[in-house]
Chain A
Amino acid sequence: MFAVRAATVRFGHTLALDDVTVEVPGGSVVAVVGGDGAGKSTLLRALAGEVPLDSGTIEAPPKQRLGYLPASSGSWAALTVTQNIDFVAGIYGLAGEELCARRAELLDRASLTAAAGRLAAQLSGGMRRKLGFIMAVVHRPALLILDEPSTGIDPVSRIDLWRLVSEAAASGAAVLMSTTYLDEAERAAHLVVLDGGKVLVQGPYDEVRAGFAGVVTQTGEPVRPEWAWRRGRVQHEYWPGAGPPPGATAVAPDLEDIVIALSLARRNAVLS
């Protein structure tokens, strides 16, 4: 079990993480979701040791057993796919036949075998993210930290990436990943919803849904615009305390509704 406990991080006057506790058990995927500036990357970088805490504790493995995919490409553009993998593997002490076998296995799983000799700069966005993923797992880390691994890539590559993430967890790694795709987050064993550096809710998806308080209604014209958001052609509106007005159409909230509703509740509470 790896964890961030009661972590607070400030950047100047900005509170990036506010008393955040997240546990990442081995063999499971923990997904961190939230809007821009919610604190997702800061949480991941804190666990990776890249951001010092103002208070709180970090329980993480030594660097030798940590794998990290940053939000950027995570690979060296002027090196080939093979050279990128070999460079990182060399730092972790992998060499010879062990490296060849591991590289071949990962390239095959990521469908990158045909691109092994291509420069990273010549890869598509999705292929480059998969290369970054391979570089993060080549040494079989105990803790794998992935910062928005699937952002900006096509749906097929997203499926490939998710399969790779699931395989890493199935083989025992503790995986902490941030994502902006809520359908991805729903598949994780544990969800963490962040907003403004605070944990709004966390737990398995079903528990998060079951524990959601209040009612979400569907409407054409919201009664309180500050509590409403657009979903397709209609608007959804959140009623956290008292129930909706008579005649309003309640809907079963999905994860997107829950994340937005809880974020609005926090922001409106801050404003009031």
Chain B
Amino acid sequence: MIVKEFRELVRDRRTLGLLIMMPLLLLVIFGYAANFYVSSIETAVVGPEASHAAAALPPLFNVTVTQPSGTKADAETLLQGNKADVAFVTGQTPVLALVNGSNLFAAQSAVAALNKEGGKVDTQVLYNPGLKTSWVMVPAIIGLILTFIGTIITSIGMVREREAGTLEQLAVMPIKPSRVILGKIAPYFLVASIDMIIVTVLGIVLFGVPFNGNPFAFALGAAIFLFVTLGLGVFISTISQTAGQAIQTAFFFLLPQILLSGMIFPLEAMAAGVRWIGYLLPLTYFTMISQGIMLRGAPISSLWLPFGVLTVMAVVVFTGATLRFRRDLAPGRPASPARKEPAAGETVSTA
């Protein structure tokens, strides 16, 4: 029995991969990424004494922007665009420190450091005044739900056609592969969209999470992100023969997104060797969009980077996945010169 089990295990490459890779992945993630303490806070300093104040700040505050001619409004614009975690406004006593509450862990570190300064600094937390975890988690959870439906549920739905043999039947019917793909993913797109609306509304009602930005910009970001996750789901279905295999493979895609997208552990607190993985994950960029729009009311213009990256990902992943799926539906169609219809006189009449 033991020998039989080992033989089966060796031939089940995915389970073997899961057994070997998962402990390594967890070790790396929790060793290098599981860190809530942010040791370097991106900082902007504006106002007439900006240069002097920037030089006097403790090393925790990594000054990336210095604008002697800047005003409080400029400081708020920098925070809204996520260009800085903290912005100091000089030229007044005490100095005003505006903290970006949408970056929760950086904000907590900043507030803790500023509180030690006593009355020298007037601290104001914007976008999440209570520094509530739920306010930053709800926008990220929306992305997680879209990932779950787009990746796992879609791949299972697609693989079920293969398992039942109905994919083979669809392939011989006069229906274009593009319509099959569209017909398969449209319901998941709709269900995911409804789920997204429900979770967003519940987040606002139950947890008081604000929605300060443009809902249409948010919907656009979610739609682009959904195309990425649906593309991943379709791709997984093309490399899986059973629903079990699809779930296993989807797990490989899902776990890094949960742990390395900045949803739980802040990206800026991760070791550089692990952080780059986070920047390859679509959920990282959707979280930037959802937190930016919901909490900071950020316009699309200040979120061009995550929108751009997600759009590229959507085009690449969705196109690649659908081409693979198309190949399954129409094998050899592009290269079938040997296939012809009999001459009219030779065909039988339909029954």
Contacts and interface: CB of A to CB of B under 8 A. Distances in A.
A49 B336 contact: yes
Given A173-B351, A174-B348, A58 B340 contact: yes
Q: How large is the interface on B (under 10, 10 to 19, 20 to 34, 35 or more residues)?
A: 20 to 34
B339 A172 contact: no
Interface centre among A64, A71, A91, A174 (most CB of B within 10 A): A91
B166 A62 contact: no
Contact of B164 (A26, A76, A137, A141): A76
Interface string B300-342: 0000000000000000000000000000000111011011111
Contacts of B153: none
B338 A142 contact: no
Contacts of B69: none
Contacts of A143: 348
A74 B165 contact: yes
Interface string A28-69: 000000000000000000001111110111111111111010
Contacts of A137: 351
A202 interface: no
B348 A142 contact: yes
Contacts of A268: none
A59 B350 CA distance: 16
A48 B171 CA distance: 9
Contacts of B333: 49
A227 interface: no
B93 interface: no
Contact of A50 (B168, B174, B342): B168
Contacts of B338: 53, 55-58
Interface string B154-194: 00000000001110110111110000000000000000000
A40 B288 CA distance: 55
A20 interface: no
Contacts of B350: 65, 140-142, 172-173
B320 to A, nearest CB: 22
A27 interface: yes
A1 interface: yes
Interface in A1-38: 1-3, 25-27
A62 B173 contact: no
A27 B350 CA distance: 10
Given A50-B331, A70-B165, A172 B336 contact: no
Interface in A173-205: 173-174
A62 to B, nearest CB: 6
B166 A74 contact: yes
A83 interface: no
A76 B335 CA distance: 30
Contacts of B332: 49, 51-53
Given A71-B165, A72-B164, A2 B342 contact: yes
A66 B172 contact: yes
A110 interface: no
Contacts of B331: 50-52
Given A140-B351, A172-B349, A172-B350, A72 B335 contact: no
B184 to A, nearest CB: 12
B351 A61 contact: no
Contacts of A134: none
Given A53-B338, A58-B338, A91 B174 contact: yes
B172 A50 contact: yes
B185 to A, nearest CB: 17
Nearest to B345: A1
A77 B339 contact: no
A74 B347 CA distance: 26
Contacts of B172: 48-50, 63, 66, 68
A49 B78 CA distance: 60
Nearest to A84: B166
B341 A62 contact: yes
Nearest to A62: B341
B346 interface: yes
A82 interface: no
A157 interface: no
A75 interface: yes
Nearest to A53: B338
Contacts of A76: 164, 166
23 contacts: A2-B342, A26-B347, A49-B172, A50-B331, A51-B332, A52-B332, A57-B338, A58-B336, A59-B342, A61-B347, A65-B350, A66-B172, A72-B164, A72-B165, A72-B168, A73-B166, A76-B164, A76-B166, A137-B351, A168-B351, A172-B348, A172-B351, A173-B350
Given A66-B172, A142-B349, 20 more contacts: A26-B347, A26-B348, A26-B349, A49-B339, A51-B332, A57-B338, A59-B341, A59-B342, A60-B341, A62-B174, A70-B168, A72-B164, A73-B166, A74-B165, A92-B174, A140-B350, A141-B350, A143-B348, A173-B350, A173-B351
Interface of A: 1-3, 25-27, 48-53, 55-66, 68, 70-77, 88, 91-92, 135, 137, 140-143, 168, 171-174
